[in-house]
Structure 1
Amino acid sequence: MPEDTLDATNLKSQYVTQVASDLERNVKEQERIGAELAALEDQLQALRRDHALLLSVQQALTDESSTPLSDVASTASPEPDSAPKPAAVPTARKPKDGGKTAENKTAGRKAAAGKATAKGRKKSQPAAAPAKQPKAAAAPTLRELVLDHLGGQSEPRSAAEVTTGLAEAHPDRTFQGTVVRNTLEALVAKGQVQRNKQQKSVFYFAAGSTPVTTSPAPAAETDDMTQKDGATA
């Protein structure tokens, strides 16, 4: 078979397949759109039924709220042929006591109204604010406690002894040895506390008091410590 005939046959076969596929897709699309149209038609019919029902309800409500003209005419009172004459008003009699009774009643009403107004004002006034309680005295600082403690000692104390003494004197507070030692050194730097080194230990005493040493250090060491303390001060 020639090559041109084979190509034409293959091309025709492709067209047939393509047309069949398009037909199938067209049929499915028609079915889908038909189903949607049916659903929309059902919705439209439901809306029309609801519209008719609402119109009937509206008409019924309008009829009930309107009043017939015949009822209005029957309830209206006929106009009188002539206006009635006003009745004669009797002349008021003068009180025998010269009007004092009416004045007394008026004064009593005014007094009662004044009392009611005063009671209303008392109730409307807010209650007086309670008196402010005096603030509690501020707790002394650690520096104040350290100075007070050293001032009551007859001899120098180490940082550990100062910490122990503060803990015993103030059991409601917590004292740390490192914090107490730093506070003592800060007071030494300000000149409020002095320190004295005895061998390897450091003792603190209040400024202006004379330290009492229990074990004197060697002369050479004492001189060196004195020079160092003088330089520090």
Structure 2
Amino acid sequence: MTSRSAASLRARYVEQAVSDLAENRRRQRELAEKIKMLEQEETLLMDILTLAERYEEANPSPLPEQAERRPVAARVKAGATEKSRQPLLGDALIELLGTHGEPRSAKALRDELMERNPDRSPTPQVVRNTLESLVAKGRIRRHKRERSVSYTLAGRVTG
């Protein structure tokens, strides 16, 4: 093997290693994002489970098909107790809106929520979806001005 072919082979190995490293890092970022989304989905599902449990407590007479499913909910409940201490995302957002007299953007609400609750990190989309759900329920109002959207409590009048 000549020194030229050895250098060429070494250069190809280095090029391949650099390419593989870049691909590995890209996949790590992709997986980290997936993990973050799954954690947020878990939080949302835990919130749904908490709501279901509150509903069951308020309405103790289950329908026959609900009674059959109860043992499954009881098993999941063991893991839910840790997360159920946090208020639901919608309740937390309503509380934040109540502390401000002016309309607030979804981004501003998310930033404030994460500042007050460092253990929570909902995606911007989860916050927007929750806010839109609260609008649909009539609990908050949406205000559109050109391309920006902001929210206030339903009872508040803005100027």
Q: TM-score, normalised by structure 1?
A: 0.32
Q: TM-score, normalised by structure 2?
A: 0.46
Report which of the two structures shows the higher radius of gyration computed on alpha carbons. 1
Which of 1 and 2 has higher RCO (CA within 8 Å, sep 6+)? 2
Higher helix share: 2
